[in-house]
């Protein structure tokens, strides 16, 4: 594999492989952090492995690395396919991948060394920030050129989501990281919290979610061989996502000293988020109506199906937990950690893995090396994210109710212990899943059997556009 | 509606820009940027400590704002926007795995923090915080400077009180074991001194007390109550050796009231924190019984004046001349 190849699909392939590498490294750091919470003296006095440094490495490698990179990799295959052209600027997309990888590598090392902006989801320092914005600019040019050279006049919904995710992220990222302040990457005072949570929640809402929906809108019709249920619903889902998601960051600060009207907006729009979630799911599930068996019969399909089910759970939970009466208990607790894992891993992460296994044979021309390994990975990911959700939600409720009952934080620390141990155990399972996936991808590329030509063409059938 | 590239692009950008205006620019322009009464500039040391706090991700487990519903913390003040003026980045936090630190300044003296940062379990046996010994002495000093500034001017008053009482506590300790105990006793309000523990030191009470002792006290006072817990080498004055209380009973027969008061209120200036937020009354009496029975070798529990026995208490046995409840631990009626 040359560094900057012009071979068709080579950029998509590079994004997929890179994403899986970051999944392996990112979940490993997650496990180290999980172990620290279960057994704080297991690793002692190793500065770069202290929990407070491991955690941002984990969060950034999975939420900025693994999930979006795999989804962009899949998108770089899906979007040109939908537009009936090949990707414009394959080399430019390769430049994007190297900028992106360099940003994550430098960023992770910087975080481990204690160089951080200390703002959740925006920890990466200025140089990685610049590299990431550069990567997105490269991808936007590549996407724009593909769009301009398209043979297909109609834009399928996946294309909207892909384009919007790239365009909005290119604007959101410099703003949220306050890149005009290179030394801090922040503004000052409470405003910094407002800006950060505008950004932090939009990373999920305007980058991960649209990229995941781009893949889901392609995979569900393609795997079930059914036309998309409704063009109108796709539009409602798309525009309402943009309209509501952008206002909800304030629900992280409901008990913080920010203006009350901002809290009101954030709660109302959080509740309104039910609309884009439910509309998209109704659209996808009615598309697959009567053919859920087809989805579950294929590895990409089952990942996507479970991803959409998790989207329902996380998309109903989110609005509910933005309500002040609920947050009174759940705020500041492990409940929020459960929600974040369900959103990033359970929803977008699972769809990313589905998109990976769908796109992989098509961008490598080789059959997935081991279906059985891929299935094992599915069950490991599914079980571990479900366990994270249940265990951390339980821990969060226990903490929150204890505090409301007047217990001090110190008295609630020991009761976290059993939850943290179970979470660390399932963390081992997830890390195994990540390495199995990476192994499978590498073996597919280097040892996979070639896809028969007819089969390949048959299976890249474009899903019906509206 | 036909979704053209122009529509998707322009629509997304317009919505995004409008949102930025509504939820970022408007608050930016309309919020009052006034300091609160407690706000003050951070010193150079405090800023250096803040950098260490940032570098080591303390913010992922420690929040820095007191919410309206935080009555569990017993805080005297809800956080205000003016508390955070000029701080960049903000460190409000989103998870409270450890305690909130918005008003940490002056809660403990510096030496408590040193022991706590070297190993959190030295001072707080059930903590799950990582050790920060690797920071080294100088960085630990800077980090503590930052912690002691949390709460602004309010914190400064508390820190000053810690320092004043530390000078007296150290002087008392240096005067010798018995002088030290006398000083400690003299600083307990008169009414609390000739007061026996009102609850009997039954076996279940002692077991409950042992649990409280292990969860809260053992790191400083040690497993045998001699003040030689793992935190002791870092603390000045060092933790009390309970056995020195045996020859310093109040009126030759009382110690329960003193134990209760000191556990409840702590001894400001020393590493002994107050526990009234964390331990209910019965738990403080139980651990007092445990300390008295095991480390002092004398307990005054359930002696007169004891008032009307609480309904759960076992019937009292006759008090022997020695002043000890010979059957303490059994709780059986004669």
Total number of domains in chain B: 2
Q: What is the mean pLDDT of residues A28-43?
A: 96
Q: Which of A37, A239, A404 sits opposite B128 (nearest CB)?
A: A37
Please check whether residues B193 and B155 belong to one and the same domain: no
Asked if B72 lies within 8 A of A186 by C-beta distance, the reply is no
Average pLDDT score, chain A: 94
Query: Looking at beta carbons, which residues of chain A come within 8 Å of B41?
Result: none
Label residue B311 by pLDDT band (50, 70, 90). confident
Q: Are B95 and A333 a contacting pair at CB < 8 A?
A: yes
pLDDT band with cut points at 50, 70 and 90 for residue B71: confident
- Mark whether B112 and B236 lie in a shared domain: no
Q: Which domain holds residue B210?
A: 188-334
The answer on B192 and B155 residing in a single domain is no
The string of pLDDT tens digits covering residues B271-303 is 999 999 999 999 999 999 999 999 999 989 878
Q: What is the DSSP string of A356-423?
A: HHHHHHHHHSB--S-HHHHHHHHHHHHHHHHHHHHHHHHHHHHHHHHHHTT--HHHHSGGGHHHHHHH
CA distances from A57 to A8, A118, A120, B228 (A): 33, 11, 11, 39
Residues B196 and B152 in one domain: no
Mutation site, A129, A189, A197, A254, interface B, largest B CB count within 10 A:
A189
Q: What confidence score (pLDDT) does residue B69 get?
A: 86
- The C-alpha atoms of residue B100 and residue A317 are separated, in whole angstroms, by 26
Longest Cα–Cα distance in chain A = 68
Instruction: Name which of A430, A418, A429, A432 is nearest A39 in CA terms.
Output: A418
In a domain, B223, yes or no: yes
Does the residue B273 lie in any domain?
yes
Q: Residues B150, B219: one domain? A: no
| Segment (H or E) for A350 | helix A350-364
Residue range A62-90, pLDDT digits in tens: 999 999 999 999 999 999 999 999 999 99
pLDDT digits (tens, 9 = 90+) for A227-246: 999 999 999 999 999 999 99
With tokens 């803040």, the residue in question is B50
- Does position A93 have pLDDT exceeding 60, yes or no? yes
Confidence of residue B316 (pLDDT cuts 50, 70, 90): low
Which chain B residues are closer than 8 Å to A157 by Cβ? Answer: 3
Given a cut of 50, whether residue B230 has pLDDT beyond it is yes
Distance from CA of A148 to the nearest CA of B (A): 9
Chain B neighbours among A 149-168 (CB < 8 Å)?
Answer: 155, 157, 159-160, 163-164, 167-168
Has residue B3 been placed in a domain? no
CB-based contacts of A105, cutoff 8 Å, min separation 6: none
The two three-digit tokens of residue A159, written as one number: 């294309």
Q: In whole angstroms, what is the distance from residue B255 CA to residue B126 CA?
A: 28
In whole angstroms, what is the distance from residue A362 CA to residue A456 CA? 7
Nearest CA in chain A to B100: A409
Q: For chain A, list the domains and their CATH numbers.
A: 10-459 (1.20.210.10)
Instruction: Find the mean pLDDT for residues A129-143.
Output: 98
Does A247 contact B60 at a Cβ distance shorter than 8 Å? Answer: no
Exposed/middle/buried for residue A99 (C-beta within 10 Å: 0-12, 13-18, 19+) = buried
Which of B89, B132, B216, B273 should we substitute to test contact with A (largest number of A Cβ atoms within 10 Å)?
Answer: B89
Contact: A408, B277; criterion CB under 8 Å:
yes
Gap from A217 CA to chain B (nearest CA, Å): 16
**Smallest CA–CA distance from B4 into chain A, residue:** A155
Residue B306's pLDDT is what? 78
Query: ∠A348-A450-A361 over CA atoms, to 5°?
Result: 10
Q: How close, in Å, is residue B295 to chain A by CA atoms?
A: 25
| Distance, CA of B331 to CA of B313 (rounded, Å) | 8
Using DSSP's 3-state secondary structure scheme, residue B250 falls into strand
Instruction: Work out the percent of chain B whose per-residue pLDDT is above 90.
Output: 83
Position with higher pLDDT, A29 vs B330 = A29
Q: What is the CATH number of the domain that holds B116?
A: 1.10.760.10
* Confidence (pLDDT) at A453: 54
**Residue in A117, A247, A407 nearest the CB of B89:** A117
Task: Give the pLDDT band of residue B33 (cuts 50, 70, 90).
Answer: confident
pLDDT reading at A248 higher than 90: yes
Q: Which of B252, B271, B241, B329 is nearest to B110 (CA)?
A: B271
Residue B326 has pLDDT above 80, yes or no: no
Mean local confidence (pLDDT), A98-121: 97
Last residue of a domain, one of B159, B176, B208: B159
In-domain check, residue B179: no
* pLDDT at res. A2: 62
Nearest CA in chain B to A200: B94
Nearest CB to B89 within list A51, A115, A184: A184
Q: What is the mean pLDDT of chain B?
A: 91
Using DSSP's 3-state secondary structure scheme, residue B25 falls into helix
Nearest to A103 by CA among A187, A2, A188, A173: A173
pLDDT at residue B330 above 50? no
Residue pLDDT, tens place only, A290-333: 999 999 999 999 999 999 999 999 999 999 999 999 999 999 99
Q: What is the ipTM of this complex?
A: 0.94
Shared domain for B244 and B154, answered yes or no, is no
Residue B36 lies in a domain: no
With 80 as the cut, is the pLDDT of residue B245 above it? yes
Does B324 score more than 70 pLDDT? Answer: no
Candidates A37, A410, A411: best to mutate against B (most CBs of B within 10 A) is A410
In a domain, B329, yes or no: yes
B261 and B143 within one domain: no
**Angle, CA A206 vertex, CA A200 and CA A211 arms, to 5°:** 125
Q: Two tokens at B232?
A: 């002791």
- DSSP assignments along A55-101, one per residue: HHHHHHIIIIIIHHHHHHHHHHHHHHHHTTSPPS-HHHHHHHHHHHH
% of residues, chain B, pLDDT over 70: 94
Q: What is the pLDDT of residue A41?
A: 95
pLDDT tens, position by position, A178-225:
999 999 999 999 999 999 999 999 999 999 999 999 999 999 999 999
B28 within some domain: no
The answer to whether residues A363 and A80 touch, using CB atoms and an 8 Å cutoff, is no
Residues of A in contact with B95 (CB under 8 A): 332-334, 336-337
Question: What pLDDT is attached to residue B268?
Answer: 97
Given B159, B177, B205, which residue is the final one in a domain?
A: B159
Task: Tell me, yes or no, whether B151 and B232 share the same domain.
Answer: no
Asked if B204 and B253 sit in the same domain, the reply is yes
A-interface mutation test, from B11, B22, B23, B277, most A Cβ less than 10 A away: B23
**Domain-terminating residue out of B143, B159, B175:** B159
Residues B155 and B238 in one domain: no
- Tell whether B132 and B251 lie within a shared domain: no
Q: Of the candidates B5, B84, B93, which has its C-beta nearest A189's C-beta?
A: B84
Check whether residue B97 and residue B143 sit in a common domain.
yes
Q: Per residue in A356-391, pLDDT tens?
A: 999 999 999 999 999 999 999 999 999 999 999 999
**What integer is the mean pLDDT of A407-420?**
95
Is B122 within 8 Å of B25 (Cβ atoms)?
A: no
Residue B57, pLDDT above cutoff 70 = yes
Q: Is A249 left (phi over 0), alpha (psi -120 to 50) or beta?
A: alpha
- Choose among B266, B268, B246: nearest CA to B255: B246
A409 in B contact zone (CB under 8 Å) = yes
Residue B116, classified by CB atoms within 10 Å of its CB into exposed (0-12), middle (13-18) or buried (19+), is buried
Does residue B214 fall inside a structural domain? yes
Which of B11, B12, B79 should be substituted to probe chain A, the one whose Cβ sees the most A Cβ atoms within 10 Å?
B12
Contact criterion met (CB < 8 Å) for B67 and A171: no
Quick one: pLDDT at residue A5?
83
Query: In this complex, do A118 and B89 lie within 8 Å of one another by their Cβ atoms?
Result: yes
Band the pLDDT of B219: cuts 50, 70, 90. very high
What is the distance between the alpha carbons of residues B331 and B334, in angstroms, rounded to a whole number? 9
């Amino acid at each position: 594999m040359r560094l900057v190849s012009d071979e068709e699909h080579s950029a998509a392939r590079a994004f997929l492989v890179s994403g899986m590498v970051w999944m392996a490294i990112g979940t490993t750091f997650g496990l180290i952090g999980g172990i620290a919470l279960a057994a704080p003296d297991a690793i002692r006095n190793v500065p770069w492995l202290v929990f407070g440094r491991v955690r941002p490495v984990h969060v950034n490698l999975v939420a900025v690395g693994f999930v979006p990179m795999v989804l962009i990799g899949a998108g770089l295959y899906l979007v040109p396919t939908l537009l009936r052209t090949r990707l414009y600027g394959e080399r430019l997309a390769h430049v994007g991948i190297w900028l992106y990888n360099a940003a994550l590598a430098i960023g992770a090392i910087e975080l481990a060394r204690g160089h951080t902006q200390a703002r959740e989801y925006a920890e990466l320092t200025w140089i990685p920030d610049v590299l990431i914005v550069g990567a997105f600019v490269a991808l936007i040019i590549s996407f724009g050129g593909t769009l301009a050279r398209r043979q297909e006049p109609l834009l399928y919904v996946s294309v909207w989501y892909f384009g919007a995710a790239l365009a909005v992220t290119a604007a959101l990222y410099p703003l949220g990281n306050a890149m005009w302040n290179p030394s801090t990457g922040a503004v000052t005072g409470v405003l910094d919290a407002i800006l950060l949570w505008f950004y932090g929640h939009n990373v999920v809402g305007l980058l991960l979610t649209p990229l995941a929906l781009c893949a889901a809108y392609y995979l569900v019709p393609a795997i079930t061989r059914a036309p998309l249920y409704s063009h109108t619903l796709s539009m409602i889902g798309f525009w309402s996502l943009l309209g509501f998601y952008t206002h909800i960051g304030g629900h992280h600060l409901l008990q913080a000293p920010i203006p009350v009207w901002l809290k009101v907006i954030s709660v109302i729009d959080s509740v309104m988020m039910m609309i884009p979630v439910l509309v998209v799911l109704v659209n996808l599930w009615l598309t697959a109506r009567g053919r859920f068996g087809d989805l579950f019969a294929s590895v990409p399909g089952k990942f996507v199906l479970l991803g959409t089910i998790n989207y329902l759970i996380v998309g109903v939970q989110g609005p509910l937990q933005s309500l002040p009466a609920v947050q009174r208990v759940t705020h500041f607790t492990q409940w929020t950690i459960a929600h974040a894992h369900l959103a990033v891993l359970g929803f977008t992460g699972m769809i990313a893995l589905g998109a990976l296994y769908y796109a992989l044979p098509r961008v490598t021309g080789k059959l997935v090396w081991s279906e059985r390994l891929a299935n094992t990975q599915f069950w490991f990911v599914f079980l571990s994210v479900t366990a994270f959700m249940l265990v951390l939600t339980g821990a969060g409720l226990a903490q929150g109710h204890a505090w409301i009952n007047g217990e001090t934080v110190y008295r609630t620390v020991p009761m976290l212990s059993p939850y943290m141990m179970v979470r660390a155990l399932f963390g081992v399972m997830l890390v195994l899943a990540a390495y199995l996936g990476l192994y499978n991808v590498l073996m597919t590329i280097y040892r996979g059997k070639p896809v028969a030509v007819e089969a390949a063409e048959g299976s890249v059938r474009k899903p019906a556009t509206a | 509606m036909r979704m053209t590239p122009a529509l998707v692009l322009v629509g997304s950008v317009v919505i995004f820009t409008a949102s930025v205006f509504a939820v970022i620019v408007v608050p930016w322009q309309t919020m009052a940027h006034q300091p609160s009464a407690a706000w003050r500039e951070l010193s150079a040391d405090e800023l250096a400590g803040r950098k260490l706090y940032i570098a080591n991700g303390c913010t992922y487990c420690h929040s820095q704002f007191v919410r309206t519903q935080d009555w569990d913390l017993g805080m005297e003040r809800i956080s205000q926007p003016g508390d955070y003026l000029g701080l960049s980045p903000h460190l409000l936090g989103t998870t409270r795995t450890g305690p909130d630190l918005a008003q940490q300044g002056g809660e403990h003296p510096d030496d408590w923090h040193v022991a706590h940062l070297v190993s959190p379990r030295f001072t707080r046996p059930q903590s799950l915080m990582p050790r920060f010994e690797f920071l080294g002495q100088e960085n630990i000093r800077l980090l503590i400077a930052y912690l002691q500034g949390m709460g602004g001017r309010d914190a400064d008053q508390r820190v000053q009180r810690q320092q004043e009482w530390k000078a007296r506590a150290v002087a008392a300790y240096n005067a010798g074991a018995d002088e030290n105990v006398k000083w400690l006793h003299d600083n307990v309000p008169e009414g609390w001194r000739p007061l026996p523990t009102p609850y009997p030191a039954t076996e279940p009470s002692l077991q409950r007390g042992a649990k409280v002792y292990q969860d809260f006290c053992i790191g400083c006072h040690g497993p045998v109550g001699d003040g030689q817990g793992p935190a002791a080498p870092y603390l000045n004055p060092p933790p009390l050796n309970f056995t020195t209380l045996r020859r310093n009973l109040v009126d030759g027969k009382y110690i329960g009231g003193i134990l209760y008061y000191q556990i409840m209120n702590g001894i400001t200036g020393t590493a002994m924190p107050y526990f009234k937020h964390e331990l209910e009354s019965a738990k403080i009496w139980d651990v007092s019984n445990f300390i008295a029975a095991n480390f002092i070798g004398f307990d005054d529990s359930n002696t007169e004046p004891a008032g009307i026995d609480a309904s759960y208490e076992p019937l009292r046995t006759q008090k022997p001349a020695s002043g000890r409840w010979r059957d303490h631990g059994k709780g059986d009626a004669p």
